[in-house]
């Protein structure tokens, strides 16, 4: 049998820690990796956050690799194998992706690739806030060969225990590892064996999730931006991107009311993506508030005394 490149699929709800795990894998693995990143929302941000040597990154935007982009996904895999000859391919699927269709198509349609394992990253904090797991999240859990119960630092040991029990009822086989910032022994991430557990079914996406993006045309006043973030309502579940402040660019990460701003060592064009349910109803208001935080680049016009 010809050599098959192992493929690892990272899934999990929006903001659960997929990019964090990708960064950890890249930093801790000696393998020559190729990354295929598929984000929800129009513009790629995650691809700019993962850096490493010997790394090939392809981003697929504007749809989901589990359905509308499946053709592009296959073409990208074939191209990446031909041009970069990676020792392993890691795919970060959008938070709204249902992995059953993808797993099925990969193993059947691309003979050069072997499905190694599905790693599902769950957000312990979000599981406490939203105990009813939706259809897509349930499939992500059921299809997992390894479950990371991430953000363990944000829940109590008792809560963590009951979350593990809950995950176990959906998936009785996959090991469950509690993690903080996805810090897990990299040995456990490679060489998994995938077991198809969910029969692929026709699915429609969680249409209730919508996104919009904002490109600043001037640096933002930080205090104004922070006031705005504190006032964001439940319509915004996830936001991320690069914000220019007068003292430099920052990475903004927002998940279900918790947020961070991290100074960026490199210049990145300002861009923010907002994702949530029924978020379109708030788009105009949020955009207007963001624009109001921009420090005007235009010098005030001098008062003209000369009469014509
Ligand atoms: N407190 C805490 N924060 C975490 C942990 N893991 C990740 N985060 C933070 O959660 C935010 C989202 O993490 P990402 O890795 O970007 O999540 P993601 O799943 O790639 O997000 P999407 O691609 O938008 O679905 C970031 O601010 C991370 O730093 C953790 O274990 N504890």
Confidence category of residue 109, pLDDT binned at 50, 70, 90: confident
pLDDT tens string 174-227: 999 999 999 999 889 987 777 766 666 666 555 578 889 999 999 999 999 999
Strand order in the sheet with 209-214: 209-214, 271-277, 238-245, 248-255, 258-263
pLDDT tens string 51-78: 776 678 877 766 666 666 667 788 888 8
The whole-angstrom separation of Cα 70 and Cα 56 is 20
Domains identified in the chain and CATH numbers: 5-188 (3.40.50.300), 209-293 (3.30.1220.10)
The whole-angstrom separation of Cα 21 and Cα 49 is 12
Q: Which ligand 1 atom is the nearest neighbour of the CA of 21?
A: 15
Instruction: Supply φ then ψ for residue 176, to 5 degrees.
Output: -115, 120
Substitution site in 15, 119, 206 for ligand 1 pocket (most atoms within 8 Å of beta carbon): 15
Here the ipTM equals 0.99
Taking the centre of ligand 1 as the mean of its atom positions, its distance from the CA of residue 22, in whole angstroms, is 11
Ligand 1, pocket residues at CB < 6 Å = 12, 14-20, 39, 46, 95, 150-151, 153-154, 180-182, 238, 240, 253, 255, 260
The whole-angstrom separation of Cα 104 and Cα 83 is 24
Taking the centre of ligand 1 as the mean of its atom positions, its distance from the CA of residue 272, in whole angstroms, is 16
pLDDT tens string 243-256: 999 999 999 999 99
Task: Decide if 290 contacts 228 (C-beta within 8 A).
Answer: yes
Q: By three-state DSSP, how is residue 219 classified?
A: coil
Residue with the bigger pLDDT between 118 and 38: it is 118
Residue nearest to ligand 1 atom 32, measured at CA: 151
């Amino acid at each position: 049998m010809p050599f098959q490149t192992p493929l690892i699929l990272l899934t999990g709800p929006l903001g659960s820690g997929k990019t964090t795990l990708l960064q950890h894998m890249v930093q801790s693995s000696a393998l020559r990796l190729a990354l295929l990143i598929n984000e929800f929302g129009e513009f790629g941000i995650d691809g700019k956050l993962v850096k490493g040597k010997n790394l090939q990154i392809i981003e697929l935007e504007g749809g989901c690799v589990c359905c509308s982009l499946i053709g592009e996904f296959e073409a990208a895999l074939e191209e990446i194998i031909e041009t970069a000859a990676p020792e392993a391919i890691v795919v970060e699927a959008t938070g709204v992706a249902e992995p059953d269709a993808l797993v099925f198509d990969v193993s059947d349609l691309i003979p050069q690739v072997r499905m190694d394992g599905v790693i599902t990253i769950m957000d312990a904090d979000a599981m406490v806030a939203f105990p009813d797991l939706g259809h897509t999240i349930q499939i992500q859990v059921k299809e997992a060969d390894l479950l990371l119960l991430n953000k363990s630092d944000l829940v109590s040991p008792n809560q963590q225990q009951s979350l593990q029990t809950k995950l176990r009822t959906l998936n009785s086989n996959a090991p469950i590892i509690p993690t903080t910032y996805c810090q897990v022994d990299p040995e456990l991430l490679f060489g998994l064996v995938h077991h198809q557990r969910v029969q692929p079914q026709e699915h429609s996406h969680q249409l209730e999730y919508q996104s919009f993006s904002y490109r600043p045309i001037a640096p933002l006043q930080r205090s104004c931006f922070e006031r705005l973030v504190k006032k964001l309502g439940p319509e915004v579940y996830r936001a991320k991107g690069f914000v220019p402040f007068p003292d430099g660019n920052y990475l903004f990460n927002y998940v279900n009311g918790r947020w961070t701003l991290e100074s960026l060592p490199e210049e990145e064009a300002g861009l923010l993506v907002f994702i949530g349910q029924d978020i379109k109803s708030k788009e105009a208001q949020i955009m207007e508030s963001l624009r109001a935080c921009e420090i005007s680049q235009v010098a005030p016009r001098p008062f003209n005394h000369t009469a014509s």
